[in-house]
Structure 1
Amino acid sequence: MASRDQDQSSPVPPKVAKDQTVKQQREARRAEKVAKLKAQQAKEKRNRILGISLASVAGVAIVALVVTFVVTSAEPERDRASIQIEGVQTWGDELDFNHVETAVDYATQYGTNPPAGGSHNPAWLNCGVYTEPQQNENAVHSLEHGAVWVTYDASAVNEDEVNTLRSKLPDSYVLVSPYEGLPSPIVVSAWGAQLAFEDPEDPRLADFIAKYWQNPDLPEAGASCSGAIDGPGKVA
């Protein structure tokens, strides 16, 4: 007959049970920490993805706005041939492109005053603003490169009016200088074209610039307007 002690399960010693409880608690706390860490990492990942997505959308929107602004605000280039300017004088085949070392009587030879083309010095006048009259033969060579030449009567146009003229001109391929014996207070010339007017605010000046400035049909269109001769009184 089995003893009574053999029929009953041996009880877990109190110390062992306590150790198991502590270990379980530690495992539970560790599992909880791991779960919280994973949840935090998942949240941060979602936030990063969301931030990147929003930044990308914002970037695309900004680029679209910039492109839209540029496209809608840019003025289309005007068709030169369609621009009609009241009072403009033009010259054609009578203007030659010869290089000469001598002085040229433009009024007699070509009927232009100031000159608007014809024979000219091999060295061009550097584009810019001058406070003194310039050598015709050098300035005409600049016209052949596509520049426009704004001449004015210093006795009829004051400094403020000259500044007004300058504000309406391009930043390059432009000559500005006083000129003696003009038929009008202000005359703007390009190769083969000329316009005389009195008011610096005359809207025809803008039309003249649009039609003749940097004319691509000239033999030396786009050639440099610097690196040659600075005339007297250059201020800009």
Structure 2
Amino acid sequence: MSFDRRTSSEQMSDADRTRDRRNRIVAIALSTLVVAGLAGFGSYLVLDKSEAREQTPDLVAQDGKPPVQDESALAAEPVEGEKSWDAETLPRNHVAGEVKYAMRPPVGGDHDQAWLNCDGVVYEKAVADVNAVHSLEHGSVWVTYNGKAADADVRKLASRVESTPFSLMSPYEEQAGAIMLTAWGKQVTVDSADDRRVAQFFAKYVQGAQTPEPGAPCTGGIGATG
């Protein structure tokens, strides 16, 4: 009869070593998976933050779109260089024929019974003052320009008008400034389409407090030719 002279602990050492080796392999594999998962999550966070930065107003503006602006804050700011008339004292009678206005473009006064369509309309030719004034009475902003205005500014202003209900735009050669903005009883001359006063004027006076007939339509009127 033969027997193994090794102790029981020595007899089990081979099995223990095998089990320990297997446990180490499992532990290494799990550690690798955890590290890979953390690395992937970190990459996701970096990409997510990067995409968020790309959506900030400054970067959006670089794509040609206007940055998001606080309309209420703009409306509260005074418009530098703005000229004002007492809106309540400007006559508002409906008359036939031409009217001689004290300023050009006119900021109010007697006018034709038909208003110009002003739901973001850009007119390529001059319009009749008597019809445009009626649109001002309904709360529209009238953007005008003459031959001194840069083509790029005209295009930018046209884009703004087209996206703004209760506004209209037309050439006006007789005006003093290259670019002018007019509302009922309000008027300002600006340097360019990027002048901050453009955004201020729109924020304050498109259907603003100066509007004699708030709620009146800017559609259903006439076009430039009547």
What interval of TM-score do these two structures reach, taking the shorter chain for normalisation?
0.5 to 0.7
Counterpart amino acid of residue 200 in structure 1: A
State how 1:98-177 maps to structure 2 within 5 Å: 98-107=93-102, 112-127=103-118, 128-153=121-146, 155-169=147-161, 170-177=163-170
TM-score, length of structure 1 as denominator length: 0.60
Counterpart amino acid of residue 158 in structure 2: R
3-state SS of 1:168 partner = helix
| 1:161 to partner: Cα distance | 2.0
| 1:80 to partner: Cα distance | 7.7
State how 1:87-98 maps to structure 2 within 5 Å: 87-92=81-86, 93-98=88-93
Could you give the per-residue CA deviations for residues 128-159 of structure 1, whole angstroms, max 9, x where no partner exists?
A: 11110000000000001010000000x21243
Q: What residue ranges of structure 2 are gaps of 5+ in the alignment?
A: 1-67
Counterpart amino acid of residue 173 in structure 1: F
Verify the 8 A CA contact 1:152 1:178 in the aligned structure 2.
yes
Verify the 8 A CA contact 2:138 2:215 in the aligned structure 1.
yes
Verify the 8 A CA contact 1:124 1:142 in the aligned structure 2.
yes
Supply the RMSD in Å over aligned alpha carbons.
2.2
Verify the 8 A CA contact 2:136 2:211 in the aligned structure 1.
no
Higher CA-based Rg? 1
Could you give the per-residue CA deviations for residues 72-127 of structure 1, whole angstroms, max 9, x where no partner exists?
A: xx9665168732111000100431111111211112xxxx2110111111100111
Verify the 8 A CA contact 1:152 1:186 in the aligned structure 2.
yes
Q: Distance between the aligned counterparts of 1:217 and 1:89, measured in 2? A: 13
Residues 123 and 165 of structure 1, relative CA distance in 2, 3 Å threshold: same
Q: What residue ranges of structure 1 are gaps of 5+ in the alignment?
A: 1-73
How many residues are aligned here? Answer: 155
Verify the 8 A CA contact 2:139 2:212 in the aligned structure 1.
no
Verify the 8 A CA contact 1:188 1:194 in the aligned structure 2.
yes
Residues 75 and 198 of structure 1, relative CA distance in 2, 3 Å threshold: closer
Runs of 4+ in structure 1 over 6 Å off? none
Could you give the per-residue CA deviations for residues 3-42 of structure 1, whole angstroms, max 9, x where no partner exists?
A: xxxxxxxxxxxxxxxxxxxxxxxxxxxxxxxxxxxxxxxx
Counterpart amino acid of residue 157 in structure 1: A
